[in-house]
Structure 1
Amino acid sequence: MSQPRHFQNNLERTEKLSGQEPVVTVLPSLTQALKVLQKAVATGEGLRGPSVYTGLPGIAFVYLHVHQVLLRNAALAKQLGHQDPIWAEGAAGFLEAAAAILEATAPVACSLHSRHPRMTFLEGYPGVIALQAVCYHHRGKQREALQAAQVLETMASSVTECPEGECEVLYGRAGYLYALCFVQKHLGSEAISSAILETICLQILQEGAANVDMDASLRSWGLMYQWHYKQYLGGCHGIAGILYTLLLSGSALERVITAGDYRTRLQAAASSLLDACFPSGNLPPSLGGRQDTLVQWCHGAPGLTQLLAEMCQSRWQPLFGDELQARARATAERAGNTIWERGLLTKGLGLCHGISGNAYALSAAARAGDDQQMHHSALQFGLFMAEHWEKLYPLPDHPSSLFEGLGGAVCFWMDILDDINQAHFPGFEL
């Protein structure tokens, strides 16, 4: 008999927690987990390769996230500083730890890039150099930060020359676009060339339009993408992740769709994606899929809720209109309910196909409809991880990593201690 995909959810969804209860539950687990990651940095245990996804740079991302939380939440930083020596150096200590990891891994990632180039934030040198740029910036080294941003920009020509099917988040153009947007968020809009952003956005749109124009059965979609000969729909390899990343580029996308005929195509793609959802709000892994089974970021509703939340932002009302925004909110509610019911995954703590990714997906669903019960649902997932993390930790292939393991849980626990209403999926949302 095969292992069930998820644990039975016996958590209380509507129970009101006292102010300190999340802290009491999360803090001991968070502290011990950081020590596990500290050991992993020293030994490489539970990690693989120089990628943000499963490697040391992912731990640098975790440390950068801890730094950001402690920097903006002085009261929390003061409270944690008295808890354990691992917190003693505060925000600055985690920033320096992130910088040290990146300094050590950047040459390895660069060498690998020259032999087997991967062009995305999660899988490849762009993620390492983007993180370096941001670390330099927060350390006050603006010249080095801008130099790193320029190195990232030089990769654009290689990205535009990628094979036609390479547009998704994990290995394709959208993953490179995310790296640009990540740097721009931290360093400011002037740090990344608007022309490069627009070029990548335009090529992604052109690829999606060309796929539709070659296949009459896809005409209603406006845009469609395929990876390994399959039309995936989710966040990792599919159109949900691609559309979401396009929206992250903000004004660059707006300029491109104003100059071209892509407005109606984006509307059609978003509408068709909502139509493709199961009645449960879950998303099939690929076009035509009929099995409502996978509830994880890489395949399923947890990779869709971020797009739904972004679609509901007021800046996109002129693009999507009231009716499509209302449909997005309704779909987010159904998706969130399904994630709540089936999202305590037995694969472990990770972001890609684990519980922390589903916790972040619940947070996105909450933002789509300003739904406090959904935020509470996300919190309960975080508390479940804190109570059971030692049993869940060894389950994935790379248990210390950001996207498969403990790193994702650490990020979410920090968001619980800070402000769960502002929790955003690491390496996917901004």
Structure 2
Amino acid sequence: MVRFIANKFVGKSKEVAENTDEKFLKSSIQAVARHILERPQNDDEWSDRGPYTSVSGTGLALALNRDVLQEVLHRSVNKEIQDIFNYCLQNLSKNRERQARYLCGDLGTLVASLNVSVRDDVIERIEQISHILAEKSYPNDEVLYGRAGYLAGVFWIRRTVNENLISDDCVKRILKAMYESGRKYSKKHNSHCPLFYEWHESEYIGAAHGLAGIYHTMMSFENLLAPSELGDLRASIDWLLTVQITEGNWPSSSKWFGREREDQLIHWCHGASGVIHLYIQMYHKTRDEKYLEACKLAGHLIWEKGILKKGPGLCHGVSGNGYAFLILYRLTSDEKWLSRALCFARLMMDKDVQGQQRTPDSPYSLFEGWAGALCFLCDLLPERRDKAQFPLYPNTF
């Protein structure tokens, strides 16, 4: 099964990018914003937990880009934002595990709400959640449902709101639990590297449920790790580099080690488009060329096969893959990667491409739909490019 649409701009990226100017971007932002704001009301998006598919993700997209939206729509979106977060914060779960989930739970909604207004009760709840996640019995370490999500959330707060809102003590207890969990699993299963993890009995590799997301978020707080812990983490990151496939992708899970699948997953959630963020971070921290070479190889693969049939979203869609180019451009200042990001924006808005894509289950949401696309388009604006971050999954620069 072919999961991607042929990229008709291969070999033409520079000329296409030159025509994908600020006027095109703002026109696209206007169209996407209207599409979101005029969407039919859906009970699922209000009952879902977390910014992945619920209205809290849509609200975050509006909040992050409200100044641009004010300009292109000629009106404020503050009422929509306030209505969303007032509802979400009044309807948080009473289930401890659901409270602690990041992209698919209350933790993510709490984090997103801080981009709208800073409330002491929200900060207190986020700090309390660290105790739930630090319990040895807590079952998940990955980003969507587990401990790594807490680290991503705190780092997002520090990058976009305030450095001092969530204490280092909260982060340290999560890091300790994650490190001990990874060492325990690695020893028990004679794993390939010092820190290894599973989710639902599969050893995933990617950003959403796997090693890349766990390592990426732990490295965001390397200053809070003991030297031996940091050594194990870096050894694990270097081992993961060795399983990159020749074409540039990573296997979706350990069962694919040494085997190539015809229907490669080239998504943020599974594959090169998510793993690349880990090695972008590693190159920025170390300037070791092996990390940059891995990023370039992954970037070329995403360019060739990254126009996905699953729609415009961040998780397994065109905008999520486009962010790989945009963050790589921020890392290297190489105009080639910016050109490719701009080409993905044009392809994402192309009616012929859209006609070959399926409609996501949550078509207006942050991680599956147009709210993620809105963030990508806004971050491509000239004044935004140098500070662009993948929503809720930030890098360290």
TM-score by length of 1: 0.83
The whole-number CA distance in structure 1 between the counterparts of 2:347 and 2:137 is 42
Say if 2:374 is the partner of 1:410: yes
Deviations along 1:162-191, whole A, 9 cap, x unmatched? 645410001100112222222233442321
1:299 corresponds in structure 2 to 270
2:25 corresponds in structure 1 to 26
Shift of 1:368: 4.4
On the 8 A contact 2:141/2:148 being kept in 1, the answer is yes
The whole-number CA distance in structure 1 between the counterparts of 2:301 and 2:281 is 20
1:309 corresponds in structure 2 to 280
The whole-number CA distance in structure 2 between the counterparts of 1:343 and 1:185 is 28
Shift of 1:205: 1.3
On the 8 A contact 1:297/1:303 being kept in 2, the answer is yes
Shift of 1:51: 2.0
| 1:235 aligned to which of 202, 207, 210 | 207
2:55 corresponds in structure 1 to 56
Q: How does 1:43-82 map to 2 (within 5 A)?
A: 43-44=41-42, 47=45, 49-67=48-66, 70=67, 81=71
1:287 corresponds in structure 2 to 254
Deviations along 1:136-173, whole A, 9 cap, x unmatched? 14xxxxxxx23311121111111112645410001100
On the 8 A contact 1:159/1:173 being kept in 2, the answer is yes
Distance 1:266 1:308, change over 3 A: same
Gaps of 5+ in 2: none
On the 8 A contact 2:132/2:138 being kept in 1, the answer is no
Partner-residue secondary structure (3-state), 1:281: coil
Paired positions, count: 387
On the 8 A contact 1:332/1:368 being kept in 2, the answer is no
1:257 corresponds in structure 2 to 226
Q: CA RMSD in A?
A: 2.4
1:35 corresponds in structure 2 to 34
Partner-residue secondary structure (3-state), 1:195: helix
Distance 1:210 1:404, change over 3 A: same
Gaps of 5+ in 1: 71-75, 138-144
Distance 1:288 1:268, change over 3 A: farther
| 1:333 aligned to which of 275, 290, 296 | 296
On the 8 A contact 1:46/1:399 being kept in 2, the answer is no
Partner-residue secondary structure (3-state), 1:230: coil
1:351 corresponds in structure 2 to 314
1:376 corresponds in structure 2 to 339
Say if 2:7 is the partner of 1:6: no
The whole-number CA distance in structure 2 between the counterparts of 1:113 and 1:355 is 35
Give 1:281's aligned amino acid: G
1:97 corresponds in structure 2 to 80
2:385 corresponds in structure 1 to 420
Say if 2:366 is the partner of 1:395: no
Partner-residue secondary structure (3-state), 1:266: helix
Which structure has more helix as a fraction of its residues?
1
Partner-residue secondary structure (3-state), 2:242: helix
Distance 1:187 1:351, change over 3 A: closer
Instruction: Give me the identity figure in percent.
Output: 26
TM-score by length of 2: 0.90
Worse overlay, 199-208 or 118-127: 118-127
2:109 corresponds in structure 1 to 128
Q: How does 1:149-298 map to 2 (within 5 A)?
A: 149-161=123-135, 163=137, 165-216=139-190, 218=191, 220-248=192-220, 250=221, 253-258=222-227, 261-289=228-256, 290-292=259-261, 293-298=264-269
Give 2:84's aligned amino acid: I
On the 8 A contact 1:379/1:420 being kept in 2, the answer is no
Partner-residue secondary structure (3-state), 1:276: coil
Shift of 1:337: 0.2
1:73 corresponds in structure 2 to none
Shift of 1:35: 1.5
Worse overlay, 387-396 or 193-202: 387-396
Deviations along 1:203-236, whole A, 9 cap, x unmatched? 11111111112222x2x41111100111111000
The whole-number CA distance in structure 1 between the counterparts of 2:49 and 2:230 is 38
Distance 1:13 1:365, change over 3 A: farther
Shift of 1:371: 2.7
The whole-number CA distance in structure 1 between the counterparts of 2:44 and 2:348 is 18
The whole-number CA distance in structure 1 between the counterparts of 2:290 and 2:255 is 21
The whole-number CA distance in structure 2 between the counterparts of 1:244 and 1:49 is 26
Give 1:424's aligned amino acid: Q
